[in-house]
Amino acid sequence: MEQPGGALVASERYGSAESWKYWAKDGAMERRRDGEQRQSAGSSVLRVFRAFCSSLSGTLATQASLRGVGVGNQEATVAAATLTWLLRDGTGMLGRIVFAWRKGRKLDSEAKKWRLFADGLNDVAMLMEIVAPHFPAFFTLILCSAGVFKSVVGVAGGATRAALTVHQARRDNMADVSAKDGSQETLVNLAGLLLSLLLVPLVTDDPPLTLGLFFLFTLLHLFANYKAVRSVVMETFNEARLSIVLQRYLRDGRVPGPAEANGREPLLPDFRTPVPIRLGVKLQDVVHRYPDQLDLALKGNNKPFLVGIRNGCVSVCLGPEASVGDEIRAACQALWLGGRLEAPTSRHENQNGHWETVHQSHQLMDDVFTGFLKDAEAAGWDVKRTLLDWDEWRVEWKTKSS
């Protein structure tokens, strides 16, 4: 297809919104935004303006409420209290937005890890609130930091609870499971409230006892949560579980069952720096600037995905017709490539050397993937869906013949 700007070699779309096209001319490739956009800019502005007005109304209501309950006798006192309230709530809102933006997709694929993270961060926030009165000069800073942590806990805790509820709803009874989970939590909180009525008089005006009991209960809480999260056995592949299963299969030809792989899945922070793997990226994250890069990506590959290595990162483009099996295969190739790149001899390869490694991964998957997927299903894994961290870019590319 020839156009004044060159030949169309690929097009891509992010979800149902923006669309882009790649044009080749004079040995170079250019990415341009498509003219068609699905979202109305006017409706977006109206939605933002409506939320903005609602936020301002809430601010005025907060100030009126403080004045109504008699906070201070002067206007300055009410204004100062209002600003302090807004500062605490505002930092919490900012933390919630940034965390959801940066880690939102991970909450599905790594629900167990982020569930444990939320529990630990909540304990840290409570500790900060306990010690804040002892540092008057930094009281506002500590309180706002604790508010940010609690807002992150709210996002991570609520999202991972929903993900785990979906896992537990084996008879498609998510509402029933969610309701019973809420009732169970309410019962536990009620018991805690009754115990608190007996405990609070004992710790009043005794900071050492307060901190001692807090650390004791925190350790018990974290241990119980770790054991609870570790007991969850999920039959769908995420990146960690797929890596465990694939490595064992390539090593000795055996696919570990869900219970074994879940028992080895890391739940605590890993301070290593593994090779980043990005799934469902833009075409330019796999091939860059030159059409012959697309030819290299297609060499030995007739699947609806493209795999490439750029700047030490393994990236995968996904075609719109790709099946779940294709997604699993592409992720397996990316994980294998990531393992190869971690080897010291691979870190200094040029881009052409990386393409040779990519072609080896295609050949490896041609040889082993069918047997791997069959054995995985026989071992009890659900291969009809995944929890792999795919972004929403979908790409259609043109071969030389087309």
Question: Could you tell me if residue 170 is inside a domain?
Answer: yes
Which three-class secondary structure state does DSSP give residue 337? helix
Give a yes or no: residue 226 inside a domain: yes
pLDDT at 40 over 50: no
Same domain for 267 and 292: yes
* pLDDT beyond 50 at 188: yes
Q: What would the pLDDT profile of 88-111 be if each residue is shown by its tens digit? A: 788 888 888 888 888 888 888 888
202 and 320 belong to one structural domain = no
Top-ranked range on mean pLDDT: pick from 62-71, 121-130, 194-203, 350-359: 121-130
Taking the CA of residue 85 as centre, how many other CA atoms within 13 Å lie in the half-sphere pointing to its CB?
Answer: 16
Predicted local distance difference test score (pLDDT) of residue 86: 75
Asked whether the predicted pLDDT for residue 207 surpasses 90, the reply is: no
- Kindly state the tokens that stand for 231: 């007991």
Which tokens sit at 157?
């805790």
Q: What DSSP string runs through 62-100?
A: HHHHHHHTT--SSHHHHHHHHHHHHHHHHHHHHHHHHHH
Residue 203 confidence (pLDDT): 73
> Which of 197, 230, 263 is a domain's end point?
230
Within-domain flag for 77: no
- Helix or strand or coil: residue 291? helix
Judgement on whether residues 382 and 246 belong to the same structural domain of the protein: yes
Which pTM was predicted?
0.78
Domain annotation covers residue 118: yes
Asked whether residue 255 falls in the same domain as residue 142, the answer is: no
288, 142: one domain: no
Same domain, 330 and 223: no
Domain hosting 160: range is: 90-230
**170 and 303 together in one domain:** no
Does 42 map to a domain?
Answer: no
Q: What is the mean pLDDT of residues 260-274?
A: 84
Is it the case that residue 219 has pLDDT exceeding 50? yes
Q: If you compute the radius of gyration of the chain from its CA atoms, what whole number of angstroms results?
A: 27
Of 113, 106, 95, 102, the C-alpha closest to 265 is: 113
pLDDT exceeds cutoff 70 at 153? yes
Let me know whether 214 and 278 are in one domain. Answer: no
One domain, residues 247 and 388: yes
Report whether pLDDT(336) > 60.
yes
Min mean pLDDT across 82-86, 199-203, 314-318, 381-385 is at: 82-86
Sign of the dihedral through C-alpha 364, 367, 370, 371: negative
Tell me the average pLDDT of the chain.
81
Q: pLDDT: is 52 or 228 the higher one?
A: 228
Same domain, 245 and 393: yes
In-domain check, residue 171 = yes
Assess whether pLDDT exceeds 50 at residue 128: yes
Exposed / middle / buried, residue 135 (Cβ in 10 Å: 0-12, 13-18, 19+): exposed
215 and 244 assigned to the same domain: no
Supply the pLDDT for residue 260. Answer: 94
Q: Would residue 371 count as lying in a domain? A: yes
Number of domains in the chain: 3
Residue 139 lies in a domain: yes
User: Are the C-beta atoms of 263 and 230 separated by less than 8 Å?
Assistant: yes
Sign of the dihedral defined by the CA atoms of residues 26, 31, 36, 42, in that order = negative
Same domain, 218 and 247: no
